Amino acid sequence: MTLEYFNYDYINYETAINGFHIDDFSDNNYLEQGILFLNEIEKIIAKKYPNTNVELILCKTNIGYHFTMHTIRKGITYINDDLEIYQEPTIVIKYTTNK
């Protein structure tokens, strides 16, 4: 997949490239494993990319959980702030180090 494939939509490109299913790498406790992964990603970002703002997303699927992330960009959103509109449970962490 290339950025051109996504019509230069950076957020959709990043979420496609960065996304994976937790259940592909764990046999059980998908939610717990997903939350542990989110915590580890936060630590890595804080250490390696201290001036980066990212949105970490963990969504329930029919099998387990799906993780993705993208850089937060001014005026552009990927996940609606009203999480009640989604049919499946969704966890969103906006990790902001650079105000």
How far is residue 53's CA from residue 94's CA, in Å, rounded to a whole number?
7
- pTM, two decimals, is 0.79
Domain residue extents for the chain: 10-95
20 and 37 in contact (C-beta within 8 Å)? no
11 and 73 in contact (C-beta within 8 Å)? yes
pLDDT at 36: 93
Confidence band of 4 (pLDDT split at 50, 70, 90)? low
pLDDT digits (tens, 9 = 90+) for 54-81: 889 898 888 899 999 998 888 888 887 7
79 and 55 in contact (C-beta within 8 Å)? yes
pLDDT digits (tens, 9 = 90+) for 19-43: 999 999 998 999 999 999 999 998 9
| Helix spans in 9-52 (H) | 10-18, 30-48
pLDDT at 90: 78
